[in-house]
Amino acid sequence: MAFDLPQNLSKMSSNVLMTTVPVFSGVDFNIWADILLSWLQATGLSSVLGSDRPSDATVSSVSPLSAEDMAAQAEAITVALKKQADWDEKNDKAIGSIKLCLSPAIRQKTLGMTSAKEIWATLKNTYGKPGVSAVYTDFKRATSITIPNDANPSATIELIHMHFNRI
């Protein structure tokens, strides 16, 4: 059963994107990536970050084909084209969403990239590894936290755990 979505849904989605996901300027990639990935998951676009474009349907070169084989082949081609079109649409939307959340300097580094998977991998490889100063900062923050005596320590322990996980 299909239903029509409001025409202004894409405008609403881009407004939510811009207010939910901050612009990435090269700092705190893992935090930014988690927020953007959550948004892509919520909008159904995250699948293209880990997949390549579906392949073409194979066409039989055996001739002549029976009417049944021709119909099956036509159906396979139609299904493959539909999968490719769906993937292309999701990929375009994911690329746009990612690029809208990049600073101009970082966006320049993605010029010529044609898949969200490629952009995501490049960003992750370039910015996903913390530098020495970030590791030291997280270590210093984790070791300077004091656990309160008069309150439930679980939130504080979770904060310490977060800092050590980022290291």
- Mind giving me the DSSP string for 72-119? HHHHHHHHHHHHHHHHHHHHHHHHHHHHHTB-HHHHHTTTT---HHHH
For Cα atoms 134, 137, 141, give the angle at the middle one, nearest 5 degrees.
140
Averaged pLDDT score across all residues of the chain = 85
* Per-residue pLDDT band at 58 (split at 50, 70, 90): low
Which pLDDT score, from 0 to 100, does residue 13 have?
60
Which amino acid would we find at residue 9? L
Q: Is the pLDDT of residue 119 over 80?
A: yes
More confident residue, 89 or 18: 89
pLDDT of 76 > 90? The answer is no
Q: Which residue has the tokens 């084989």?
A: 69
Contact between 138 and 163 (Cβ < 8 Å): yes
In the block, residue with structure tokens 């991998």: 121
Predicted confidence at residue 136, as pLDDT, reads 84
Check residue 2 and give its pLDDT.
45
In this prediction, residues 94-112 reach a mean pLDDT of 96
Top pLDDT among 20 and 131 is at: 20
CA 124 to chain centre: 11
Read off the pLDDT of each residue in 89-101 and give the average, rounded to a whole number.
96
What are the residue boundaries of the structural domains of the chain, listed by start?
Answer: 9-54+89-128, 130-167
Higher pLDDT, 35 or 162: 35
3-class DSSP state of 97: helix
- pLDDT for position 30: 87
Residue 92: pLDDT over 90: yes
pLDDT at 5 over 50: no
